Structures are given as structure tokens and as C-alpha cells.
Chains A and B, each alone.
Chain A
Amino acid sequence: MEALDIFTSASLWGAVLRIATPLIFGTLGALICERSGVLNLGIEGIMTLGAMVAWMTVYQGADLWTGLFVAAVCGGMFGLLHAFLTVPLGLSQHVTGLGITLFASSLTYYIYRLALPVSSSPPTIEPFQPLAIPGLSDIPFIGEALFSQTAPTYLAIFAIVVTAYVFTRTPLGLAIRMTGENPHAVEAQGLNPVRIRIGTIVVGSALMAMGGAFLTTATFNSFFPTMVQGRGWVCIALVVFASWRPGKALLGALLFALFDAYQLRLQHVIDNAIPYQLFLMVPYVLSIVALVIMSRRARVPQALMAPYRKGER
């Protein structure tokens, strides 16, 4: 197989959506938080936590959807912690977010070790199976590429659509956007920006945890430490790349997944001529490139990272 032939294989395009799913959830989660003005660097830890919690829940006998749900709830709880520290207390969003990441991931590893004291190879679970959409999945090529995904992938895309609708078409969306632009304006109109921020952080963090959960319930079938591998940070970069818009976030996640899927296959084609680490670097390098390209163009929420304290300007 030649390097360019990879693009014509349906399995590549199927893999793109699969690889993109955790990024879609994570980017959307981070985007929702930032739209209300709060940077959530807890994402890496929350994704790790979500991955473990979902896997553990299923491993203990619950079904996959319950696993996903429990992961979302746990993610939301860590979101609440981040929200409490950064919104009413107004602590530095940078340092608090890192603290949340360190806390969530160390707690995850601790509980994981507690539950499974010694195990050389982590036990696996029965993952989500592809859900072929009747009719559409029979279309040659496109069917295999787009319509034979697992259910959470469809859910991720649905979540993008819902978020885009909420932002542009509902009073709630306007309130969230306004909170990210000028919380004083929100308060002056009788709404409570503190509550709005807390709400978005909780929801955003739940989505991040679902992104992590996808890794264990659909991609790898088991949990192992450091499995999130900086995906959270990539999501943070993707939010900038997407100029804080849900639709573009989907596009960005897909683009990244495409590069990732392509480099995986290219490794096999090229064999050992180029060190595999160079391929693995690609997504990280791309994130930085994306940040650089978009840095001047992006329309940043004006109150991003500015703590809001009532009666203080």
C-alpha cells in the first residue's frame, strides 16, 4: 500500500470518527466552560477519571451506558470543585485547573490500585459495538466510514448540534455567551453570572469525563494509567483553533483525528525508515501549530480568565 492509497480506504475514515470522539467530547466540554469565561485545565485529569470510572463501573457488572453515566456524574463533581474554587473564590484558573488535573488523576490511580492491587495486564471489558444505521450503513464506502460507528460517537455529534443550537437560539445560550463577554452586564440585567458559570463548568466537565470514558468503553476496552496521553491539552488547543464555536470544534477534532489515523497507517507503510516517535509527535505539534495560526484571528471571549466578584471591577 502506498502512502496516498491510505486515503481511499474506508477503514481510515471509520477510524477518524472513532479517534475523534474523545476529542469531540473533550473539546466541547472545554468550549462550554470557556464560553462562560472559565478556562478548565482540569480536563486532562477529568478525562483520566472518566476513563477509569466508566471502565470500573462496567467491570463491576453494570452496563456500558451506566458506566458512561457514572463517569459523567463524577466528571461533573470535579467540575463543581473547579467551579467552586475559580468562580465564587476567584482563584487563578490556570493553577486551579492544573491542581484539579493532578488531583483527579492521582485519585484515579489510587482508587484503581486499591481496587486492583496487583495485576500485570489490566482486565478488559466488553466494549460498545458498532451500531450500523440501517440503510445508510449499506452505502458503499460512506456507509462503512460514517454510519457504522459506536453509539457514543453519534452521541458526541448530537451533543455538538445541541450545543450549537443552545448558543445561537436560546435565552440560556445568550446568557452563557454574555457571561463570557461581560459578567457585569449579566448581573445588571438581573441574572446571576456566578450560577451560570458554575453550571457550564459542571456540564462541560461531565462531557470531558465522557470523552475519557469513550477510551475505555469503546477504544481500548481496559484502563491503564497515563492512557489519556495529553488528549485533554490537545482539546484545549482545539478550542482556540475552533474560535470557540461548536461547529468548528467538530471540524477541528475530525481534522486531528484524520492526521492521527493517517500517521498510524503510514507507520505501517513506511515501516522503520522513520522513528515511530516522530509520528506520535504529529498531533502535539499540530496542536501548537493550530494555536499559532489562530492566535491572532480568534475572537476570544472578553471575560475569559477574568474572575468575577460582585461589586468589584
Chain B
Amino acid sequence: MRLERRDNTPLVLMIAAPVVAVVIALALSGVLIALAGVNPLDAYYEMVKGAFGSRLSISETLTRTTPLILTGLAAAVAFRARLWNIGGEGQLYLGALVAAWLGHSLASVVPGPLAIVIILLAGMVAGALLLLGPVILRIRLGVDEVVTTLILNFIVLLFVSMMIEGPLKDPLAFGWPQSVPVDREVLLPKLLERSRLHIGLLVAIFAAVVVWVVQSRTVFGMETKAAGLNPKAASFAGIKLGKTLLAVACISGGLAGLAGAIEVTGLKGYVTLDLSPGYGYSGIVVAMLAGLNPIGVVITAVFVAIVFVGADSMSRALGVPSFIADVIVSISLLTMLVCLLFTSYRVRR
């Protein structure tokens, strides 16, 4: 038995791949749910109910979707250019920290809406700058960016911890490590009344559309695609690999930083060390499930959000540990990788 490259991939397969991957992941996770003494079908029913059952749960799911779209895009953009940015988590936190800092001090200086724009942009810049370091190390010295971006996640988390216990500590938080809150003026408007859903969702979807247009319709998109797929041929064609990579890094890091800034200004209002339940890492799964397609990212982000929100309420109802959500998502990543293989290869005897 061996693998043989397909000449082209039928569209059906490209759509079927994530579906099959998710179904297999759910089946495998079902075994673990059964281990907890619960019928997996009941559990999945509870999860769907928990994610869609009411107006509140739908709004919660969409609220969760927002940062996942952005970190998913961050990973998708980078991976397409063969830039292994695993530092989404750190970039998100740095974006969040900068947003909290500016959000606290800026509203008194500039009017609200302008302040919001500045804050979001600053969050993006923070995320982008954080990724530039590892990328420059890779271009200049050939240092593998996977390890550096991963390790930076830990450094950033410690830095955030230092800031929210130090200079940015909220004096009114009864000693909890929590940053100063952002001014009410710069909180993002709600999308839906009496819910936590904010316009950040629209920003994220807009970002996905922009990324799609840039990738599929512009010179820059074509050049990054070529540079990612075949760096040698790209540089022969006159594409500057280093420059392209730096640009991609700015976009990728910026998107992850934006996710953090939006979480702070749209949802939490301040930074704590549990601001993100691993959005940076889940973003990688979101991107892979979407086959790195920016529009697909929106859909798969909703899926991952459903799993997380649904698992929380299912856990409360049936007592299955909510970690099952992480299990489902991580198995989906592995099964998706295998399914992707079969979209580009076929098995021969």
C-alpha cells in the first residue's frame, strides 16, 4: 500500500474532509464520555442544547466565536506562508494588556469612538511586534520560530502577571491580580441587548473577508502564496522572501493581538491571567479545520465555540468533566490532518 499524489482535489473532498474529521473526533470522544458513565448521544444532545438552546446560549456561543475567528485567522495567514506562528496566545495577551492600559488612560484624552480605534490598532501593533522578534531571528539566523513563539507565550504570561500585580494592578480588586479596568467610554457597543455579544464579532468577520480578498485577489496574496509553497521558485521570480515573511508576521501577530484587545474592550473590561482559555492554541485547530481558508475559519470557529460552550453546560447537567471540549477539539485537529492528507493523496495498493 502506498500514497500517490492526486493531480487535483475534487471540491467534494475539500468540504467532506472537515466533516469527516469532526465526526470521527466525536465518535472517539464518545468513548471517553461513556467512560464517565454517560451515554455519548445524551451528552452531545446536551451540548447542542447548551450552545443553541436559548437566546442566551446562542449569544454566548457567538461571543466565544469572536476571538476564535481572529486567532484562527492569525494561524491560517501564517501557516499559508509556512510561518509556524504558535505564539497566538502570547500575542493575544500582549494585545489585551496594551488595550487595558490604553483603555484606562486614553478615554480622558480622546473621544470614545476614536479611542476605541486607537486601542484596537495598538493591540494589533503589540501582537505584531511580538511576532516580529521570532521571525527576524528566523530570517537572520535560521532559528526555528515554533520553539521561540511557544516559549514567548510563557514569557508574555509572566510579563502580564508582573504588570497586573505591579504598575497596572487594579487597587480596587481586593488584592486579586487584575488589571485596571478600561473606561466605560471605550467599551465596544453591544450587538444584542441583555447579552454579552458585542460588535467584536462583526469586526472579526470583516477581518476574515478582508483576509480572503487579500489572499485571493491581490498581488501580495499571490506572492505570499508562492513564497509559502515554493520559496526557491518565488525568489527566482523576484519575490523578496524576507519582506513577505515580515508582512505576513505583522498580519498574523496583529490579528492575534486584535483578539486580545477585543476581548478586553468588548467583554471583560480588564485583564486577568484567565482571560483566554487557550484561544491562541484553539486558533490553530480552527485554522487547520478550515483548511487555512479565511472564510472557512469563520465556520470552524463557530464549531469550536459550540464545543466549548456546549461542553460547559453539558458538564453542569451530566457531570462529564468539561475538559472533554479540549479533547474533542484536539482530536479533531489530528483527524483533520489525516483527512487533509487524503484530499491530496490517494491510496494505491
A residues whose Cβ falls under 8 Å from a Cβ of B: 41, 81, 85, 89-92, 94-96, 98-100, 102-103, 105-107, 109-110, 113-114, 117, 229-230, 233-234, 236-237, 240, 275, 277-278, 280-281, 284-285, 287-288, 291-292, 295-296, 309-311
Q: Could you write out 30 A-B pairs with CB less than 8 Å apart?
A: A81-B334, A90-B341, A91-B337, A92-B337, A94-B84, A98-B86, A98-B281, A102-B330, A106-B327, A106-B330, A107-B330, A109-B323, A110-B321, A110-B324, A110-B327, A113-B323, A229-B154, A236-B147, A281-B154, A281-B155, A281-B158, A284-B155, A288-B152, A291-B143, A291-B147, A292-B141, A292-B143, A296-B141, A309-B3, A310-B2
> Residues of A contacting B338 with CB < 8 Å?
85, 89, 91
CB distance from B55 to the nearest CB of A (A): 30
CB–CB A95/B284 < 8 A: yes
- Give chain A's interface secondary structure class: helix
Query: Shortest CB–CB separation between residue A205 and chain B, in angstroms?
Result: 15
Determine the interface band of chain B, counting residues with CB < 8 A from chain A: 35 or more
Bound Cα distance from A100 to B159, whole angstroms: 28
**Chain B, Cβ-Cβ closest to A233:** B150
Please tell me if the beta carbons of A102 and B319 are within 8 angstroms of each other in the complex: no
Q: Is the CB of A103 within 8 A of B137?
A: no
Closest residue of chain A to B337 (Cβ to Cβ) is A91
Tell me, in angstroms, the Cα distance from A114 to B341 when the chains sit together.
34
CB contact under 8 A between A277 and B147, given known A89-B338, A110-B32, A295-B141: no
- Give which listed residue, B151, B158, B330, contacts A287 with CB less than 8 A: B151
B238 at the interface (CB under 8 A from A): no
- B333 in contact (CB, < 8 A): yes
| Complex CA–CA separation, A311 to B341 (angstroms) | 18
Whose C-beta in chain B lies nearest to the C-beta of A92? B337
CB distance from B181 to the nearest CB of A (A): 22
Residue from the list A96, A98, A230, A240 in contact with B151, Cβ < 8 A: A230
Q: Sorted from nearest, which 6 A-B pairs have the closest CB atoms?
A: A106-B326, A113-B321, A102-B330, A277-B162, A103-B330, A110-B323
Q: Give the distance in Å from the alpha carbon of A41 to the alpha carbon of B284 in the complex.
A: 14
Q: How far is the CA of A91 from the CA of B341 in the complex (A)?
A: 7
Expressed in whole angstroms, the Cα–Cα distance for A41 and B144 within the complex equals 12
Q: In chain B between 24 and 79, which residues have their CB closer than 8 angstroms to a CB of chain A? A: 32, 35-36, 79
For B166, the chain A residues whose CB sits under 8 A away are 275
Q: Is A95 in contact with B324, judged by CB distance below 8 angstroms?
A: no
User: Is A230 a contact of B333 with CB atoms below 8 Å?
Assistant: no
Measured CA separation A117–B316 after assembly (Å): 12
For the complex formed, measure the closest distance between the CB of A184 and the CB atoms of chain B, giving whole angstroms: 15
Q: A89-B341, A91-B338, A295-B142 are in contact. Are A103 and B327 (CB under 8 A)?
A: yes
Chain B interfacial positions (CB closer than 8 Å to A): 2-3, 32, 35-36, 79, 84, 86, 137, 141-144, 146-148, 150-155, 158-159, 161-162, 165-166, 281, 284-285, 288, 319, 321, 323-324, 326-327, 329-331, 333-334, 337-338, 341
B151 and A102 within 8 A (CB): no
Whether the pair B147, A99 counts as a contact (CB closer than 8 A) is no
Take A110-B321, A117-B319, A281-B159 as given contacts and tell me if A291 and B329 are in contact as well, using a CB distance cutoff of 8 Å: no
Q: Most B CB atoms within 10 A — which of A100, A110, A237?
A: A110
Q: Which residue of A lies closest to B153 (CB)?
A: A230
B333 touches A102 (CB 8 A): yes
Complex CA–CA separation, A230 to B281 (angstroms) = 14
Of B35, B36, B142, B326, the residue contacting A109 (CB under 8 A) is: B326
Q: Are B159 and A277 in contact (CB under 8 A)?
A: yes
User: Can you add 13 more A-B contacts, CB < 8 Å, to A110-B324, A311-B2?
Assistant: A85-B337, A94-B146, A99-B334, A102-B281, A106-B330, A107-B327, A110-B327, A233-B151, A277-B159, A288-B152, A291-B143, A291-B147, A296-B141
Q: Please, how many angstroms separate the alpha-carbon atoms of A43 and B284 in the complex?
A: 18
Q: Is the CB of B35 within 8 A of A280?
A: no
B interface SS class: helix
Nearest residue, chain A, Cβ from B335: A99
Q: Shortest CB–CB separation between residue A288 and chain B, in angstroms?
A: 6
Please, which residues of chain A bring their CB within 8 A of the CB of B86? 98
A161 to B224, CA, bound (A): 46
Are A99 and B141 in touch, CB under 8 angstroms? no
Chain A residue nearest to B86 in the complex (CB):
A98
Q: How far is the CA of A277 from the CA of B166 in the complex (A)?
A: 11
Given the contacts A284-B155, A291-B143, A110 and B337 also touching, CB distance less than 8 Å:
no
Q: Tell me which of B143, B331, B337 contacts A95 (CB under 8 A).
A: B337
Interface-central residue, B288, B319, B324, B334, by most chain A CB under 10 Å: B334
Report Cα–Cα, A229/B151, bound state, in Å: 10
Least CB distance from B182 to A in Å reads 23
Given contacts A109-B323, A114-B35, A278-B162, contact A285 B155 (CB under 8 A): yes
Cβ-defined partner of B148 (8 Å) among A41, A99, A100, A288: A288
* Closest CB in chain B relative to A171 CB, distance in Å: 28
User: Nearest chain-B residue to A109 (Cβ)?
Assistant: B323
Task: Please give, as numbers and ranges, the residues of chain B lying within 8 Å of A229 by CB-CB distance.
Answer: 154
The reply to whether A103 and B331 form a contact with Cβ atoms under 8 Å apart is yes
B326 contacts across to A, CB distance below 8 A? 102, 105-106, 109-110
Chain A residues lying within 8 Å of B323, measured Cβ to Cβ, are 106, 109-110, 113
A288 vs B341: C-alpha distance when bound (angstroms): 33
- Residue among A103, A277, A285, A310 making CB contact with B161, cutoff 8 Å: A277
Residues of A within 8 A of B321 (CB): 109-110, 113-114, 117
